[in-house]
Chain A
Amino acid sequence: MKEKILRIENLEAGYGELKVLKGINIEARKGDLVAIIGPNGSGKSTMIKSIFGLVKPTKGQILFKGKKITGKRPDEIVHYGITYVPQGRLVFSTMTVEENLEMGAFILKDKSIVKERMEEVYKFFPELKEKRNQRATFLSGGQQQMLSIGRALMLKPEMILLDEPSLGLAPMAMQDIFRKIKTINKQGTTVILVEQNAHLALAICNKAYVIETGRIALKGGKDIAKKQKVKDLYLGH
C-alpha cells in the first residue's frame, strides 16, 4: 500500500449559521484518483474549499502527508504542493493566457523554471499556446478549463483538487478534459475530483465517495458504479 497523502477526519464546516459538512471522512493514497460525486448543494465545493483553507472548518481535521493543514491560509497551503482548480473556470479574465500561467507559478522564484513549466503546459494543451497572448475572456469554455488546469499544473503539485471540471462544457470538450485528468494522474499526481457528472468521474477514478447533504453516503472503488443506489440516483438507469 502506498503512503496516505490526504486524510480528512470528521470534518464539519459551513457558512455562518448554515452547517454544510456534517462529519466527513475521506482518505487518499499517493497516486489515487479519488472521485467525489454528489448532487447539487450537497457540499462538494465546501469540502474542497475546506482543504484549501478557503472555508474554515468548525470541527475535525485535515492531514496532508501526516501534517495538519487545518486552519492554514490558502497562500500557505499551496506551499505544501497542493493546487486547486475552482468550479466555474475561474481564470483571470483580464489577464492573458500567458499571464494566467505565470500566476500559477507565483511562488516560484526562478524565472527559467517558470518558462520551462510553461512550455510543458503548452505541450500538454497545445491550444493554449496558440492563444498565449490573448486575454482569457476570449477563450472558449473548454480552453478556459484547460487554462484553469494548466495554471494548477505550473507548480507540478503532488495533489491537485478539481472542482467540477465538466461543468458547462460541450460533450467533446468534456471528454478531452477527462482524458487529460487521467493523464495527469498517470504521471503521478494524486487527483481529488469533485463531480456531478458521475459517469465520467467513475470511469476514470480508482476510488469513489458519494456525498449527500454533507455526509458520506457511500464509498468504494470504481465498482461503486454497479451499486443499485448509485445507478438509480446518479447514473440514470
Chain B
Amino acid sequence: MPLINQLLANGLIAGAIYALMASSFSLIFNIVKFMDFSPGAIYVLAAFAAFFFNIVLGLNFFVALILSLIIVSLAAIVINKSVYKPIRERKGSNFILLLASFGVFLIVTGIILLLFGAQVKTFGLPIEKGYDIFGALITKTQILLIVTSLVLFFFLQLFMKTTKLGKSMRAVADNREIASTLGINVEKTITITFVIAAILAGVAGILVGIEQNIEHSMGFIVVIKGITASIVGGVGNVPAALLGGFLIGIVENLGILFLPSGYKDAIAFLILIIFLLFRPQGIFGVKTREEVSG
C-alpha cells in the first residue's frame, strides 16, 4: 500500500496548510461576519517578505520569519482600519465587505507582482532526503510543517479558551453590542483578531514557501481551499477548521487514485459546491445566528 500511504502523507501536508488558512478565515468570519479574502493576500505577502529578508537581504531565517510576521500584522491592521472599518461604520453589507476584500487581495498580490516579477522563486534550500514512514517519503521540512500547524492550532485553542483576551474575542464574535456594554473595546478586539488571523495565514505562506516555492499567484487557490475547509468544518467554528483542512487535503490527494492528477484542484471546488448545496452549516453544523436585539 505504499502509494496510498504516500497520498495520505501528501494529504496531511496539504491539509496542515489548509487548516491554518481555514482557522484564519474562521477567526475573521466569526468576528466580522463576512468571508474575508485578505488572508489569501497575507499568505502571499508573508512568503515574499520572508524571501526578501532571507534570500535578498541574506538575514538569518528566524529573523526573516519574525520580520515577515510583523509586516503581515501591520498589513492586516492597515487593511482592517482603512478598508473594512469605514465600510462597517457606514453599515455596508457583508457582500460589499466580501467584494472589498477581494479588491484587497488583488491589490496586494498586484503590488507583489510589480515588486518581484512573475517568475517562480525558491528559498534554495538543499534537496532533502525523505524519511520512509510506512512506505511514504516525507522530508524534515514537511514534518516541521505539519507539527507547526498542529502546535499553532493547539495554542490558538488554549488562547481562546483560557485567556481574557481570547474570551473577549469570543464575546465580541457572539454579540458585539453586548460585549461593548461590558467594557470591551470592540474595535481593538477586532484589530487583535485580524493580527492573529494574519499570523496564522502568514506562517502558512512561509511554510509553503520553504517547502515548495513562491509566486505572486500562489494565493488564489489556497483561498478557495481554506474557505472550503472552513465551510466543510462549519463556518466560524475554529476547532472544526482543523478537521476541514485535513479532510480537504486528504480527499484531494486520494482523489488522484480515481482521477487524473490535473483534477486535484477541482476536487476542492466539488466539495465546496456539495457542501454549499446540501450542508451549508458544515459537518459540525452550528448555524450562524443572526444578531437580534430589541
Contact = CB atoms under 8 A, between A and B. Distances in A.
Interface of A: 45, 52, 54, 73-75, 77-79, 83-84, 86-88, 90, 92-95, 99, 102-104, 106-107, 151, 163-164, 167
B178 A78 contact: no
Nearest to A84: B181
A104 B168 CA distance: 11
Nearest to A105: B182
5 contacts: A52-B181, A88-B293, A92-B178, A103-B171, A103-B179
B211 interface: no
B186 A87 contact: no
Given A103-B171, A106-B168, A79 B181 contact: no
B167 A103 contact: yes
A164 B293 CA distance: 12
A78 B294 contact: no
A163 B170 contact: no
A106 B182 contact: yes
Contacts of A164: 294
A94 B174 contact: yes
Contacts of B212: none
Contacts of B183: 75, 78-79, 106-107
A106 B178 CA distance: 12
Interface of B: 164, 167-168, 170-171, 173-175, 177-186, 289, 292-294
Contact of A94 (B164, B170, B179): B170
Contact of A87 (B167, B170, B294): B294
Contacts of B289: 93
B293 A86 contact: yes
A106 B182 CA distance: 6
B180 to A, nearest CB: 4
Given A90-B178, A106-B171, 11 more contacts: A54-B177, A73-B180, A74-B181, A86-B293, A88-B294, A94-B170, A99-B167, A103-B171, A103-B184, A106-B184, A107-B182
A114 B233 CA distance: 35
A40 to B, nearest CB: 10
A86 B178 contact: yes
Nearest to B294: A87
A209 B102 CA distance: 51
A54 B179 CA distance: 11
A107 B185 CA distance: 11
B294 A92 contact: no
Given A74-B181, A103-B179, A163-B294, A95 B186 contact: no
Nearest to A108: B183
Contacts of B185: 75
Nearest to B182: A106
A14 to B, nearest CB: 15
A93 B181 contact: no
A211 to B, nearest CB: 14
Contacts of B173: 94
A113 to B, nearest CB: 14
B158 to A, nearest CB: 15
